[in-house]
Amino acid sequence: MDIFVVEGGKKLNGSITVGGAKNAAVAIIPAAILSGDVCTIENLPTISDVNVISQILVQLGAKVNKLSESVIEIDARNMDCCQVSQELAKNMRASYYMLGALLGRFGRARVPMPGGCYFGVRPIDQHLKGFEALGAKTGLRDGVISLTAEGGLKGACVPLDVVSVGATINIMLAAVRAEGLTVIEHAAKEPHIVDLANFLNSMGADVRGAGTDVIKIRGVKKMHGATYSIIPDQIEAGTYMIAAAATGGDVTINNIIPKHMESISKKLMEMGVEIYEYDESIRVTRSGDLKACNVTTMPHPGFPTDMQPQMAAAMAIARGTSSITEGVWENRFQYVAELKKLGVQAEVQGRVATFVGVDHLKGGHVKATDLRGGAAMVVAALVAEGETAISEIYHIERGYEQLIDKLVGVGACIHRKTVSDDFK
């Protein structure tokens, strides 16, 4: 297996360019099949989740050509299969976007229950509620979700009971080809919801209100191919902002949308970090001590749950006691036990984690418990004195492109190493 080896204690200095947003890419690639035509998707991140979702399209009969590192062409004209394989579905959460995309295109879908990071129970009742409201029959047998809409899909009002990114996306995917008007109430407002709506509209769909909590989708009979460039990754950018702040460095992060970074910038400024915003970049620098702060994660525009583990790594060395209240997932603190191995003083009680800042972290051996938990290990290892080995890095590589190159480019000492599978 491969691990990351980090020699910590170096201030990051220089500039990093972020890639396209993972959570937009994994929705937009399935959405491309709705056109029944050829689409070109640009600014894709080079991460394993994008490879897996592309492989799912190939398995379903689409042609996917890689035009360059960050551009693919999807030819969905001759697709014939509506069943996603267990092997591919279990690798990622977003495989379930094939439910909405296949239902919208063919009126039927069979997709195994998805994999992805474990944060306690991850129900999909709101997705199914939406599909049923549009007239689909839903079933679950031997771990495979099946959807059929023999008479075609019909627009409907779908008031979501919880604000769900996945359910909002899946219902949008199914509704663009349904007959009549669909209204999603209590919709999620994340930047990637808006990005998906813009992509769907560029293929001829009629989606309005994305980015607010009511999205209206008037179904269209025909869609067409399009060329579309994905938004920058808010969470990748935020992770490097925190790495710069935690190491006391001075880093400019390029290819970002400053508006998407506001909730993260605000908290870092509260911690004593200096932030300078430009049109498409942001500079993060710190000279004084980090100050403690409290964070509660919320759906957008609140502080993103996908940033809380990285924030914890910064809180670990802040002056005073900080806390994180997790407002989205029931169990997203598995990573805290790993951070403690580096000298982090923390306690978890239910959905609240408390961090008492210490002067120094020390290197050790930790594992990535999940994607963002893994990113927190990288930030903590960059701060810690001495060497840290991070195992189970496949979690990290699902969502961070060229992490080593980008960090080495700003002065970090990090490399990849192959070790035996029983490495302890």
**Residue whose pair of structure tokens reads 């990748």 in the numeric block:** 236
- Does the protein bind ligand EPZ through residue 159 (CB under 6 A)? no
CA–CA separation, 164 and 347 (whole Å): 28
DSSP state string for 151-209: T--B--EEE-SS--HHHHHHHHHHHTTSBSEEEEES----HHHHHHHHHHHHTT-EEE-
Q: Smaller CB distance to ligand EPZ: residue 135 or 399? A: 399
Contacts by 60-66, CB closer than 8 A, 24 or more apart: 60/33, 60/84, 60/98, 60/102, 62/33
Contact flag: residue 164 with ligand EPZ (CB under 6 A):
yes
Q: In angstroms, rounded to a whole number, what is the distance separating the alpha carbons of residues 165 and 156?
A: 19
Smallest gap from Cβ 272 to ligand EPZ, in A, equals: 27
- Report the residue number, 49 or 75, with the smaller CB distance to ligand EPZ: 49
Least distance to ligand EPZ, CB of residue 394, Å: 14
Report if residue 138 touches ligand EPZ, rule: CB under 6 A.
Answer: no
Using CB under 6 A as the binding criterion, the count of chain residues that bind ligand EPZ stands at 25
Task: For residue 117, indicate whether it is catalytic.
Answer: yes
89, 98, 371, 382: residue in contact with ligand EPZ (rule CB under 6 A): 371
Q: Which stretch binds ligand EPZ (CB under 6 A): 117-125, 268-276, 288-296, 359-367?
A: 117-125
One-letter amino acid identity for 166? G
Q: 């996945």: which residue's tokens?
A: 166
The DSSP H or E segment spanning 361 is: none
Should residue 372 be labelled a site residue for ligand EPZ when binding is judged by CB under 6 A? yes
User: Does the footprint of ligand EPZ cover residue 67 (CB under 6 A)?
Assistant: no
Binding test (CB under 6 A) with ligand EPZ, winner from 12, 26, 82, 383: 26
Q: Is 146 helix (H, G, I), strand (E, B) or coil?
A: strand
Q: Which is nearer to ligand EPZ, 116 or 135 (CB)?
A: 116
Q: Which residue's beta carbon is nearest to the bound ligand EPZ? A: 166
Using an 8 Å Cβ cutoff, are 281 and 253 in contact? yes
Complex with ligand EPZ: residue 58 or 162, whichever CB lies closer: 162
Tokens linked to 382: 């960059």
Q: Does 234 bind ligand EPZ (CB under 6 A)?
A: no
Query: Which residues participate in catalysis according to the annotation?
Result: 117
Q: Report the interface residues with ligand EPZ, using CB under 6 A.
A: 22-23, 26, 93-94, 117, 122-127, 162, 164-167, 188, 305-306, 328-329, 371-372, 399
